[in-house]
Amino acid sequence: MSINNQLIEENRALYDSVGTIYPPEESIAISEEIINGIKCYWFQPENPHPNELIIYIHGGGYAVGSIRSHKAMVSHFAKELNRSVLFIEYSLAPEKPFPNGLNDVLNIYEWAFHQYPDHHFYLFGDSAGGGLIIKSVYEISRREIKSPKAVALISPWYNLETNNPSSENRQHLDQILNKEMVKNFAYAYAGNDLGPADPSKVHFESFPPVFIAVGTHEILFDDSIQFFEMVYKIQPKSQLKIYGAEGHVLTQMNIFSHSSQDLMMNINNFFNSTENE
């Protein structure tokens, strides 16, 4: 499949503009740090949970997304979850395709493991960031480092082939994504052979407790259902929350909505429930 690079460039500018829909949370201190050559950002609440760190992996089809698109949303996450957040600006396709972005995430996770050996780590991400997290959990399990305490995913992109029924039968409901756009991102990221990069092709024997949130009005709806059905068999502490009449990554459009506030409360409760296990 040929890649439409112009479409990707247009989506980069558009997606960054989404980050201005609402303002960042003023009480959160945000600072930049280059870690092992990778640009990262710290989101620090005033009195966060001690010895806990959320590593946030942003969405954007593996090809768009940045601190500009996500700063406001992640600042509200840091406030509501009351935990320090490390946001990774990982390598993007098509300039740096798979496995560059995945390697950046693993690089930062391993750095955090050695830098903060007494911390509990949480992985949190949206859309393609959710796919990167799923792949990262598998790779982390193969290394001699601590696995995440828990995981939270909003509208994860689980199936790179984008051939689940919802990619067709929910298209009329989705005001954010369309199948052509998503498949263009997939091939820009993974090349003609999607398999090695596809999270849905990974066989798991274990997985940390995971909270999954998805809206009914998105073409990736079935991705969340498919992933939950897989992971619940090996991790019964996993939870799925479906938000009626909500679209892709619902918190990005309106962080103050009832659904967004409920979602953040549920993730906070979920992370809190794993603290002492």
Residue with tokens 């999954």: 212
pLDDT tens digits, 243-275:
999 999 999 999 999 999 999 999 999 999 997
Q: How many domains does the chain have?
A: 1
1 has pLDDT over 90: no
Q: Which residue range is the domain that position 143 belongs to?
A: 5-274
**pLDDT for the residue 258:** 98
- Measured in degrees and rounded to the nearest 5, phi and psi for residue 160 equal -60, -25
Q: Is the pLDDT of residue 121 over 70?
A: yes
82 — phi, psi (to 5°)?
50, 45
Q: Number of C-alpha atoms within 13 angstroms, CB side, residue 155? A: 26
- State the pTM of this model: 0.98
CATH code for position 62: 3.40.50.1820
User: What is the model's pLDDT at position 49?
Assistant: 97
Q: Could you give the percent of the chain with pLDDT greater than 70?
A: 99
The structure tokens listed for 9 are 């460039």
Average pLDDT, the chain: 97
Span 103-113, average pLDDT:
98
At residue 36, the pLDDT reads: 98
For 171-203, what is each residue's pLDDT tens digit?
A: 999 999 999 999 999 999 999 999 999 999 999
pLDDT at 276: 67
Residue 193: its pLDDT value, please?
97
What region, left, alpha or beta, does residue 7 occupy, with left being phi > 0 and alpha being psi -120 to 50 degrees?
Answer: alpha
Percentage above 90 pLDDT, the chain: 96
Using 50, 70 and 90 to split pLDDT, how confident is the model at 2? confident
DSSP codes of every residue in 210-264: EEEEEESSSTTHHHHHHHHHHHHTT-TT-EEEEETT--TTHHHH-TTSHHHHHHH
Is residue 37's pLDDT more than 80?
yes
> Does the pLDDT of residue 277 top 70, yes or no?
no
